[in-house]
Amino acid sequence: MNILEHMSDFYDRQGKVITLEEYGMLMADFGYKSIGYDLIGDFLVSTAWLGANHNFSDDSDPLIFETMIFESGGPTTAPHPVPHPPTATSSPWQFDNYQTRYATEEEAIVGHAEAIKTVLDKTRVFVNDQQT
């Protein structure tokens, strides 16, 4: 199966196959798409339902959820803060490539909590290093 065939597979949050029209309606609903959305200092941990299969292998389940960490540039009231690129004054750790995908909502919820712990652990180390 080629990449375009995989990307044409759409699933709801329970993993049930849905039509392109159903997918479009669900993608328009931020509350449906969002599994977790946490601002921790200058970092945003976001876990979302993707709906389209992002697994390009035939040997495992569709990957329809994703967690990413962005440097957010600070608190915002916007529902989707625009991630800022790292600058010379950015934090000493980078999460530029932090991206994990999951097959089930349960895995995504656990993965979101793990990503939050990663940010907290790394920022706590930095704060402690700055105080010594």
* Band of pLDDT at residue 94, cut at 50, 70 and 90: low
pLDDT average, residue stretch 84-95: 51
pLDDT of amino acid 30: 93
Average pLDDT score, the chain: 79
Give how far Cα 77 sits from Cα of 39, 44, 62, 72, Å: 11, 13, 33, 12
pLDDT of amino acid 60: 81
Every domain of the chain and the residues it spans: 3-131
pLDDT in tens, 11-62: 999 999 999 999 999 999 999 999 999 998 888 899 999 999 988 777 789 9
The structure's pTM equals 0.76
Q: Is the pLDDT of residue 95 over 80?
A: no
Check if the beta carbon of residue 38 is closer than 8 Å to that of residue 45. yes
Which segments of the chain does DSSP mark as H helices, in order? Answer: 3-7, 20-27, 30-33, 105-131
